[in-house]
Structure 1
C-alpha cells in the first residue's frame, strides 16, 4: 500500500503470533504448497533503512528465515514509487535503484534467494529452500512518457505493473483521488495496456479508479490481476477496494484478486480513516497552494502527518477479517480467482493479529482449514491461481 506518511520509514515490530502457534497440519501444508505473495514492499524500505534480509531482520516483516518458516516460495518485491517522486521527476531513478537492491540481495545470498522471471522456473529455482524474488512495479510512473521503458523494465525483471498509485498519473486515474483526470485510462494508458500484453507483463488494477479498472479489464487481451485489493463488500465507500461487479469482471476474464492483509483494507473503520486521509491530503495541498499564491509560507507536511497519525490510531484487527475476505471472494468469484498479496512492509506494521510477518502464513492456512476449505482450494489461493494467470499472460505475449 505504501501510504505516503512518515510511518513508511518507521521501524516495524515483530509478530506477536508466529507460525509455531499453528497446528502441525497447517504448517505441513504451508511448507508443501507453493505460496506466492504478490506484494511485499521490502525494496522501498531498503532504500529508507538498509537491512540484510538474508538473515533475521527484526524491524522488517520479510526476511529469509521467516519466509522459510512460513513456507513462502515466491515473493513479489514491490518496486514502489510515490506520486511525489513522479512530480519531482525521480520515479525512474528510484525504480532502478530498487531493482538494483533486489538484485544485490539475490547476489549476496545465492543460496537463499534467486530472481524469478518466469513461472516455469519456480520448481527448479526453489530447490534448496531458496525464496524466489519476482518483481512488480507499483505505480507506472517510472516509464514516464516513453512506452519503450516498459521493455527496459521487463528486461530488468518487472512482471507486473500497477498502472497508478495514490494519484492520477499519465496512465490512469487513482482510486484515492476525488477529482479524476481521465475518467479511467488515458489514451497513453490504453497503449500501455496493449504493450504490457505484448511483452508478457501482468496488468495490475490495484489502486485504480473504478472506471480505470473496468477499462483495463476490457482492453487487456489476457487476464489481469489485482495484486493487493480486498473487496468493498466489507468496506462500503472505499474505492481502493474492489466492488463485487469489478471483481466479477476480473474473474470472468480469467484473472485473480489477491487479498491483502493490511488493516486499512480489511477493517471498515481503518478503511474509512484511509479514505479520509487522502481527502485531508487533498485539502492540505490545496491550502498550501493558496498560501504560496498569496506569498505566505506553506504549512509543514511532516507536522500534518504526525498530527493525523496521532488523531487516527489504527484500530486492532483480527485475522478473521482476512479470512472473511477470502471466504467471500471464493464464494463470489470461485476458488480459481482468489490469491494473496499481503502488503508486508508496506502498511507500517498495521496488520491483523496472527498475520504480522511472512512467518505467519501457516496461521492463514489453519484459518482456512478451520473454515472447511479443501486442500485443493487452499493450494490454489496460496499460489496456484496466480501462477496460472502469470503463465497465461506469458503465453499471450508476442514471440521475441
Structure 2
C-alpha cells in the first residue's frame, strides 16, 4: 500500500466532527474511521471532504449562511490537513494527506460568489442532497422532476468555470438532464449499485454506463445502506461490487468514496482506512494486476482531478 496513492473520493469528516462537538479538531481524533493514525495505516494521501448542508438549510434566507459556517468549520477543524486549490499539482503529494473540498447540496451557490469559492478551494458540487432545493430534486423526492430554471442557469455558470458536478444525490430526471446538457466533468462520488441494492439512491447499470461514457468516475460507497440496504455489510460485498463494475467497464472507471462519517452502520473488515490494504489483497487474489489495484484505490481519482484542475492558482 505504501506504493499506492490512496484517495477517498467522498468522506463526511467535517460532519463527523460537527456531531462530536463544535470544538473538536481532526488532529485530536483518536477514535473513528478517519483519524490521523488511520490515514497513515491506510497510506491515504488525499481526502475529498464534503461540506454537507442539510435540506433544512435550503433557501435564500439560510443556505449561504450555512455554507459560510461550513467553510469556517473546515478552516478551523481541518487545519491539520492542507487544502488543495485549483492549480494544484496533485502528483507532488508525497508525505502528507491533503484535502479537496466538495459541496454536498449546492443550493447556496445561487447566492454565493463562485469565483471567491473557487479561490478558497471549492470546485466540486452535488447540486442536491436527498430533498428538493432551488436547483433540482434529489433522489429522495417521491415524484421527482429535473432541474429548475435557476438550476439550469447555475449549471451554465459552473460549466464556464469547469466545475465538477457530483451526481450522487440527483433524482433520475435531474441526472438525465445533467448527463444530456452539462459539458464539464461529472462524478458519482459515493454510491451503491442497483443490481445489488435496488433503491433510488443507487445507480442503475445504464446510469453508471452513461457517467463513465461522459468521462466520469464511479466512487463506490462503504455504507451498508447502499451496499445491501441493511445496517451491516462486509468487505466481500465491496469486492464483489468493485469487480462487477470492472468487468463491465474497466478498472479506470472505478474508485472508492467511502462516505465515512456520513453513515451509522458497519462495513465489517473496512471499519477504517487501516483495513484498506486488505482490499488490495482481495483484488490481488482475484487476479487483478498491481496497476488495476492502484487505479481503483486512488490513482483514478488522482488522475481525474489532475485533469480537471488548471494551472492558474497556487498548489496549497
Q: TM-score, normalised by structure 2?
A: 0.91
In the aligned structure 1, how far is the partner of 2:101 from the partner of 2:185?
18
- In structure 2, the gaps of 5 or more residues are none
Q: Which moved more, 1:46-55 or 1:353-362?
A: 46-55
Which residue of the partner structure matches residue 37 of structure 1? 8
Taking a change above 3 Å as real, the CA distance of residues 66 and 133 of structure 1, as seen in their structure-2 partners, is same
Which residue of the partner structure matches residue 51 of structure 1? 24
Pairing 1:130–2:96 present: yes
In the aligned structure 2, how far is the partner of 1:230 from the partner of 1:33?
24
Taking a change above 3 Å as real, the CA distance of residues 90 and 63 of structure 1, as seen in their structure-2 partners, is farther
Shift of 1:395: 5.3
In the aligned structure 1, how far is the partner of 2:3 from the partner of 2:38?
16
Q: RMSD of the alignment, in Å? A: 2.1
Q: Secondary structure at the match of 2:259?
A: coil
Which residue of the partner structure matches residue 61 of structure 1? 33
Q: TM-score, normalised by structure 1?
A: 0.73
Pairing 1:325–2:298 present: no
Aligned ranges 1:1-400 → 2 under 5 Å: 30-48=1-19, 49=21, 50-58=23-31, 60-86=32-58, 89-105=61-77, 107=79, 109=80, 113-118=81-86, 120-124=88-92, 126-127=93-94, 129-143=95-109, 145-146=110-111, 149-180=113-144, 183-236=145-198, 238-267=199-228, 269-270=229-230, 314=231, 316-348=232-264, 350-394=265-309
In the aligned structure 2, how far is the partner of 1:232 from the partner of 1:396?
38
Report which of the two has the higher share of helix: 1
Shift of 1:106: 5.0
Report which of the two has the higher share of strand: 2
Shift of 1:191: 2.2
After superposing on structure 2, the runs of 4+ consecutive aligned residues of structure 1 that deviate more than 4 Å are none
Contact 2:12 2:261 in 1 (8 A): yes
Map Cα deviations across residues 225-254 of structure 1 (whole Å, 9 max, x no partner).
Answer: 001012111112x01101111110111111
Map Cα deviations across residues 112-156 of structure 1 (whole Å, 9 max, x no partner).
Answer: x211124742233x33x311011000111222x33x533332222
In the aligned structure 2, how far is the partner of 1:87 from the partner of 1:223?
26
In the aligned structure 2, how far is the partner of 1:344 from the partner of 1:379?
21
Map Cα deviations across residues 191-220 of structure 1 (whole Å, 9 max, x no partner).
Answer: 222222222321110011112112112212
> Number of residue pairs matched?
310
In the aligned structure 2, how far is the partner of 1:159 from the partner of 1:230?
24
Q: Secondary structure at the match of 2:233?
A: coil
Taking a change above 3 Å as real, the CA distance of residues 159 and 197 of structure 1, as seen in their structure-2 partners, is same
In the aligned structure 2, how far is the partner of 1:386 from the partner of 1:118?
15
Shift of 1:178: 0.3
Q: Secondary structure at the match of 2:70?
A: helix
Taking a change above 3 Å as real, the CA distance of residues 396 and 217 of structure 1, as seen in their structure-2 partners, is farther
In the aligned structure 2, how far is the partner of 1:195 from the partner of 1:396?
20
Q: Secondary structure at the match of 1:339?
A: strand
In the aligned structure 2, how far is the partner of 1:61 from the partner of 1:51?
15
Contact 2:194 2:204 in 1 (8 A): yes
Taking a change above 3 Å as real, the CA distance of residues 194 and 382 of structure 1, as seen in their structure-2 partners, is farther
